Structure 1
Amino acid sequence: MRRILTALLLLGALVVAQPAHAAKGPGGLAIRGADVSSLAKSEALGGVYRDASGRAGDALRILARGGLNSIRLKVWVNPADGYNTKTQVLAVARRAKALGMSLLVDFHYSDSWADPGKQVKPAAWQSLSFEQLKQAVYAHTYDVLDALRRQGTTADLVQVGNEINGGLLWPDGSNSTWPNTAALLNAGYDAVKAVSGSTKVVLHLADGGDNGLYRWWFDNAGAHGIRYDVIGLSYYAYWHGTLDAFRANINDVATRYGKPVLVVETAYPFTTADADGWPNIITAGEPYPGYRATPQGQSAMLAKVAEIVRNVPNGRGLGLYTWEATWTGVRGNGWDPADPSSGNGWENQALFDYSGRALPALTVLGRG
């Protein structure tokens, strides 16, 4: 309990709400979350979610009853399929807040995926001058967050950019020119705070086991006056280094920069089987040594990541979000918003199995 209170104090005014029915183990994480960005489209296409007993129900309610207390939703600017926009964010946020869950909003500042390999400007922003681009970042961020505030579902945390190892809105915001990166990120920060001074701004990098990257990036952030409240990390054990490297990095950055740290993306497969005819991204039977691609292996890996975050020095480990927990193998809900025939390649890492039933990892995460 003391660790939870310490984390909440570090996060300032953020109050991480928790359903009254969600059990919390001693020493549990303040944030026990799931990215559910694909949920609205899945439901529209007939996706069904079941609790551990097999009863069909609302996916968010199943997550909350399992002990999760926060959701993460990404925002695209003008995606081809019309999903992951303000419309869906407002609707899903309303449902989550009614269950007592907190909200992390993840701005990609793109019409599709933004990550370390691509930070593509939205089509509508392609011809803007740099000053106009800053204004667009501010206006878009403010618009979505103000709509959330006005419906009574103010965002608790906001990512200004997604996996911005190399900056954002390339080429203008590439960190080959740090002053530009800083100007765009600070425009987003200012918009967040203009809507709600208590909402915390997260800066999010991938490669959570790469300490050299994090020191280089956040040293430069400090040198160029980039404003933020929380350091966000992606950590996938099969991509981002050993668990020991992850532990060393997250402990170091929390101490070096004096900021709370939050794993905003992690996941692990529960099977090697395929559900939608689209090749899975992770297919190995043991993607990380000692952790099989089974329900038990998934639970063990996510419990280990949670343990590492829980033990960050000085209570600065806020928690974690498992990525795309509800992205099950629903036909038409694939990775490419412009191609309805694409599959998702991720359904073997969701928190629901191929019958839609909640997996054991859900309650493991719920205990924090």
Structure 2
Amino acid sequence: MRRILAALLLCAAALTTGQPAHAATGPHPDSPPIMGADVSSLAKSEALGGVYRYENGRRGDALAILGSAGLNYVRLKVWVNPADGYNTKTQVLAVAKRAKARGMGLLVDFHYSDSWADPGKQNKPAAWADLPFEELKQAVAAHTRDVLGALKAQGTPADMVQIGNELNGGLLWPDGRWDNWPNLAALLNAGHDAAKEVSSSTKVVLHLADGADNDLYRWWFDTAAAHGVRYDVIGLSYYSYWHGTLEAFRANLHDVAARYAKPVVVVETAHPFTTADDDGWENIVTSAEPYPGYPATPEGQAAMMRQVIEAVRSVPGGRGLGVFYWEATWTGVPGNGWDPADPSSGNGWENQALFGFDDRLLPTVRTFTRS
């Protein structure tokens, strides 16, 4: 039913945008079921004048463009009280409504922070900084229920939810740091239980970075199991220029899916399509060949995505759920930088978006439907 609805909506969009309705409306039949993109930057980009175009140059809605190219899921991060007011419940609700209207699935990524949470930092929201631990657990549960409950109330429930982002070292430091697993487990379970309270069908994802590091994943998920952590899906970040070889990544996917009898999903991956800069802020990845044999070109970007998708597809037992590209719509729009507290910051990532410097959709998206 979802694909039928998506096809009808795409036909309607074609009538209003002048775009042909011949593009795929979902992944290739041999692809994993989820072919997604993180579009957390979209709301702010659009507010600041960001433009998105089909490959032929015609301007359109970014979600319509991605959907017409075969992507069938979006990922949206949530911050608690960011300085710029973006990536909050307000934007998540608005973008979720647009995505669901196009038949797309929704993954909500809770950072439990006012800004970025990742292996190097898991800072508490300012409003939670001095809470005793029991109240901190209650805050996690209340925030999770609030966002997910609002999504459900507007008829766009989350299909999947991340309780934390890149949890290698835990979350909400210092209380939930990696060296205090009883607290870490309690916080994760508070988020899990709140999500299930809103909707028992929503799948809970626990997400680590360093997707080729099998020792990390065995240590983390073995310890999580020993502390009774509840979850449904293992999420991974895999950036080939940081996280190890494709061979090690594939081996880790296979191992953790079998070892923990859980499905796996790559919630973050990317590759540059150029070494050039579009916003005057130095790019994070500048190498002409970030991974051997995969240059920083549109062709290199597409080729790397084929490898990542194939690795997920190869997971036995249908446990390879799919791939999310990060961060598809984060183009070089002035003001839409990495630091929510600094409007002058650039993003350093526009050379890895799925839209080129001319705002046109890159051919990489064909990988998601023809892999």
Asked whether the two chains share a fold, i.e. TM above 0.5, the reply is: yes
2:109 to 80, 86, 106: 106
Q: Given that residues 268 and 324 in structure 2 are in contact (C-alpha distance below 8 angstroms), is that contact kept between their aligned partners in structure 1?
A: yes
Aligned residue for 1:94, secondary structure, equals: helix
Does residue 1:39 correspond to 2:42, yes or no? yes
The answer as to whether partners of 1:16 and 1:30 remain within 8 angstroms in 2 is no
Pairing 1:19–2:22 present: no
Equivalent in the alignment of 2:127:
124
Distance between the aligned counterparts of 1:263 and 1:251, measured in 2? 13
Distance 2:130 2:308 in 1: 42
Q: Which residue of 2 aligns with 1:175?
A: 178
Distance 2:27 2:286 in 1: 33
Q: SS of the counterpart of 1:239?
A: helix
What is the identity, as a one-letter code, of the residue corresponding to 1:64?
Answer: G
Contact 1:18–1:69 (CA under 8 A) maintained in structure 2? no
- How far apart in 1 are the matches of 2:4 and 2:248? 31
RMSD: 1.2
User: 1:154 corresponds to which letter in structure 2?
Assistant: P
Are residues 103 and 69 of structure 1, via their aligned partners in 2, closer, same or farther at CA, if it must alter by over 3 Å?
Answer: same
Query: 1:1-368 to 2 correspondence within 5 Å?
Result: 19-20=6-7, 22-368=25-371
Paired AA for residue 317 in structure 2: N
Indicate how the Cα distance of structure 1 residues 255 and 17 shifts in structure 2: closer, same or farther if over 3 A, else same. Answer: farther
TM-superposed CA distance for 1:97, in Å, is: 0.1
Report the AA paired with residue 6 of structure 2.
Answer: P
1:365 CA drift (Å): 1.7
Looking at structure 1, the residues matched to 341 and 30 of structure 2 have their Cα atoms a distance apart, in angstroms, of 44
| 1:272 and 1:293 in contact (8 A); partners too | yes
Do the aligned partners of 1:16 and 1:31 also contact (CA within 8 Å) in 2? no
CA deviations 1:308-360 (Å, max 9, x no partner) are 00010111000000001000000000000000000000000000000100001
Q: CA deviation at 1:366?
A: 3.4
1:184-218: per-residue Cα shift (whole Å, max 9, x none)?
A: 00000000000000000000000000000000000
Conserved 8 A contact 1:16-1:102: no
Paired residues of 1:67 and 1:367 also in contact (CA < 8 A): no
Deviation per CA, 1:16-54: give whole Å up to 9, x if none: 998335154231110000000000000000000001111
Given the two structures, how large is their TM-score scaled by the length of structure 2? Answer: 0.94
Q: 1:168: how far off? A: 0.3
* Distance in 2, Cα, partners of 1:165 & 1:208: 11
* SS of structure 1 residue aligned to 2:243: coil
Contact 1:40 1:88 in 2 (8 A): yes
Find runs of 4+ consecutive structure 1 residues off by over 2 angstroms: 15-21, 23-26
Alpha-carbon separation, structure 2, partners of 1:152 and 1:363: 30
Kindly tell me the number of residue pairs found equivalent between the two proteins.
354
What residue ranges of structure 2 are gaps of 5+ in the alignment? 8-23
1:259-291 deviation digits (Å, cap 9, x = unpaired) = 000000000000000000000000000000000
Q: Distance in 1 between matches of 2:3 and 2:40?
A: 19
Give the secondary structure class of the aligned counterpart of 1:113. Answer: coil
SS at match of 1:91: helix
Q: Where does residue 5 of structure 1 map in the other structure? A: none
Secondary structure of the corresponding residue to residue 308 of structure 1: helix
Distance across 1 between alignment mates of 2:329 and 2:95: 13
Does the residue aligned with 1:19 lie in a helix, a strand or coil?
helix
Work out whether residues 217 and 256 of structure 2, in 8 Å CA contact, stay in contact via their aligned partners in 1.
Answer: yes
Identity %: 73
- Give the partner amino acid of 1:136: A
Query: Aligned to 1:57, what secondary structure does the other structure show?
Result: coil
CA-CA distance at 1:367 after TM superposition: 3.6
Residues 345 and 17 of structure 1, relative CA distance in 2, 3 Å threshold: farther
Q: 1:162: how far off?
A: 0.1
In structure 2, what is the Cα distance between the partners aligned to 1:180 and 1:29? 35
Report if the CA contact (8 A) 2:268-2:323 is conserved: yes
Corresponding residue number in structure 1 for 2:11: none
Aligned to 1:319, the other structure's residue is in SS state strand
Aligned match of 1:12: none
Give, in whole Å, the separation in 2 of the partners of 1:317 and 1:263.
9
Gaps of 5+ in 1: 1-14
